Amino acid sequence: MSLFLLLFPIIIIILQSMIPTASVSDDCQISTGTILSPSSSSWFSPSGRFAFGFHPEGDGFTVGILFNIMAPNNTKLIWNDNRDGAQVSNSATLKLTKDGLILLLASEGAQHYLFSDSSSSTHCASMLDSGNFVIFNSNNNVLWQTFDLPTDTIMGGQTLKNDKKIVSSVSDTNHSSGKFHLRMQASDNNLVMYLRGDVDRMEYAYWASNTFSKQVTSMSLDKDGVLYLSIGNQSRLNLTNGDHLVINNTAVIIYSVRIEPHGQLQVYSHDLLANTSKVLQRFPEDPCTVRGVCGHNSYCILSEDQTTPQCLCLPGFEYNNPNSHYDGCKTSFIPRYCPGNEPAGDNDSYTMKHVVFETNPIAPLKTFNSKEGCFDSCLEDCNCEAATYFLRLDEDVDMSEFERAVKVGLWCIQTDPTLRPSVKNVIIMLEGSAEISPPPNP
C-alpha cells in the first residue's frame, strides 16, 4: 500500500513527460541508433522526393541530399557533406546517436562527425519535404540543419545569412567546390558573385545587387519562388520579378536557386506533378559576362539556345583539356625566341572585331593615329601578342554587328612572363569600340 502511494506520483510524472515527446514523434522519422550504409536505402522525405544518404560520386560515395525531380532519372544533389574531402567507400556507415551524426569510415577505422552533440541531447532526425535535413532534441528544438550549411543550392524557404556564401560545383557530376561563389556581403550590403581567387576582390566580381545604401541582412528564396533581400527587419527587395506567380491550384511546385558550374545564378521551378523543371530567371542574364567562365586564352560566345556559354580558343591556340572547353587554351605552335632587338620572324596575324578586354590593360595604353600604327607597334615588341584597338566614335560602326559582339575572357595572355613565348608567330588584334561599355574599374 505504502509502495503504491510512493509510485503513484512517479507514474504521473512519467505520463506528463511523455506528452511533449508524443508531439515530437510526429516530426521524427529517424530515431537515434538508426544506421545507414551505401547498400541500404536512403532516409527519404515523406513525399519521397528528397533522399538523405550515400550517393555515388567519382569512384565512391558522397553523403548528401538528392532531389528526385523526374524520379529516378533526373536528380540533383542539393547538398553534400565535406564536399572537398575524399569520397567514402562502400564500407562506410552513417549513424544517428545521442552524440550526433557520425560517419564511420569502417576500413580506415576513422570517423567524422557531420554534427557533434556534446550534451548528448540528440533525439531524432527528419528529412523534410522542403529539402532540409534536421536533427532535433527531445523538446523539438532544432540542433542542426543542412539549411544552415548551403553548398551551391538554396531551396524555397531557405535563407543565405549575412557573410555566408554558396560555391558552385565543379560540374553536375563532381560536387567539389568549383570556380565561382555568391556571397551575402555584410561589409557593403551587396549580394555579389565572384570568380574565386585568394580574396574577394572587386575586379573579380561579375554581378552585384548594387544595394550599397540599404541595410541588407540576408538573401532568401520564399516558398513562392521569389528571390529577395531582407532590408532591416521588416522590408524586402525582390530580385526576381515573380512573373511565374500564376494561380494553379492543381500544381505542386517547389523552387530552388543554384549557382551553376558556369557561374550564373539560376532560379528554378520544379513541378512535382508534371515532373518538369524550368529556369525562371538567370543572374547575370548573359552567361558570357561571367568573369573567367572560359579560362585563359579563350573567348565566350552564346550557343544556339542563347543560354549556354561556349568557349572558343583564340587563333593559334588549342584547348588545354579537349574534353572540357572551359579550362582555357594553350599555344598550338612551338615558340621561337627573338633575343635582343632582332626583327621578329614569320608571323601570322588575326583580327577579331568587337571584342573587349575584361580587365584593365596589362600595360599602359599607347595612342596611335591608325590601326596600322598599333599593329606595327605590337610587331616591334617581342612581348606583345595581342593588341586592342578601339575605334573612335566618328568611324563607321556597323551597329547590327554589336548585337552579337564577342566578349573575350582573355584576362591575360600568360600570367607568368617567363612562360610568354617572345615571338611574333601570332598577333591578335582585338578591335573594340567605345560603344561597348568599358569594364568596371576595380
CB contact at 8 A, 67 and 76: yes
Minimum CB distance to ligand NAG smaller for 57 or for 385: 57
Using CB under 6 A as the binding rule, whether residue 242 contacts ligand NAG is answered as: yes
Using CB under 6 A as the binding rule, whether residue 439 contacts ligand NAG is answered as: no
Distance (Å, whole) CA 279 – CA 269:
7
Using CB under 6 A as the binding rule, whether residue 73 contacts ligand NAG is answered as: yes
E strand map for 305-411: 309-313, 317-319, 329-331, 348-353, 386-391, 407-408
The minimum distance between CB 24 and ligand NAG, in angstroms, equals: 28
Q: Which residues are CB-contacts of 400 (< 8 A; sequence separation ≥ 6)?
A: none
The minimum distance between CB 78 and ligand NAG, in angstroms, equals: 17
185 DSSP β-pair partners: 190
Site residues for ligand NAG, 207-236, by CB under 6 A, read 224, 226, 232-233
Q: Among 265, 266, 289, which Cα is nearest to 279's?
A: 266
- Binding track over 174-203 against ligand NAG, x by CB under 6 A: x-x---------------------------
The single residue among 346, 396, 398, 403 that binds ligand NAG, judged by CB under 6 A, is: 346
The single residue among 344, 355, 382, 430 that binds ligand NAG, judged by CB under 6 A, is: 344
Minimum CB distance to ligand NAG smaller for 276 or for 415: 276
The minimum distance between CB 124 and ligand NAG, in angstroms, equals: 26
The minimum distance between CB 200 and ligand NAG, in angstroms, equals: 20
C-alpha 357, offset from chain centre: 24
Distance (Å, whole) CA 311 – CA 322:
12
Helix, strand or coil for residue 125?
A: strand
CB contact at 8 A, 225 and 244: yes
The minimum distance between CB 349 and ligand NAG, in angstroms, equals: 5
The single residue among 24, 28, 71, 436 that binds ligand NAG, judged by CB under 6 A, is: 71
The single residue among 143, 170, 186, 338 that binds ligand NAG, judged by CB under 6 A, is: 170
The single residue among 111, 116, 210, 275 that binds ligand NAG, judged by CB under 6 A, is: 275
Helix, strand or coil for residue 263?
A: coil
C-alpha 4, offset from chain centre: 65
Minimum CB distance to ligand NAG smaller for 48 or for 438: 48
Q: How far apart are the first and last CA of the chain?
A: 86
Q: Among 117, 118, 122, 91, which Cα is nearest to 104's?
A: 91
The minimum distance between CB 241 and ligand NAG, in angstroms, equals: 8
The minimum distance between CB 21 and ligand NAG, in angstroms, equals: 32
Cell triple for residue 306?
542563347
Using CB under 6 A as the binding rule, whether residue 327 contacts ligand NAG is answered as: no
The continuous run of DSSP H or E covering 231 comes out as strand 227-231
CB contact at 8 A, 321 and 329: no
Using CB under 6 A as the binding rule, whether residue 75 contacts ligand NAG is answered as: no
Tell me the site size for ligand NAG, rule CB under 6 A.
25
Q: Phi and psi for 336 in degrees, rounded to 5?
A: -120, 140
Provide the binding-site residues for ligand NAG, judged by CB under 6 A: 57-58, 71, 73, 170, 174, 176, 224, 226, 232-233, 238, 242, 245, 248, 250-251, 271, 273-275, 344, 346-347, 349
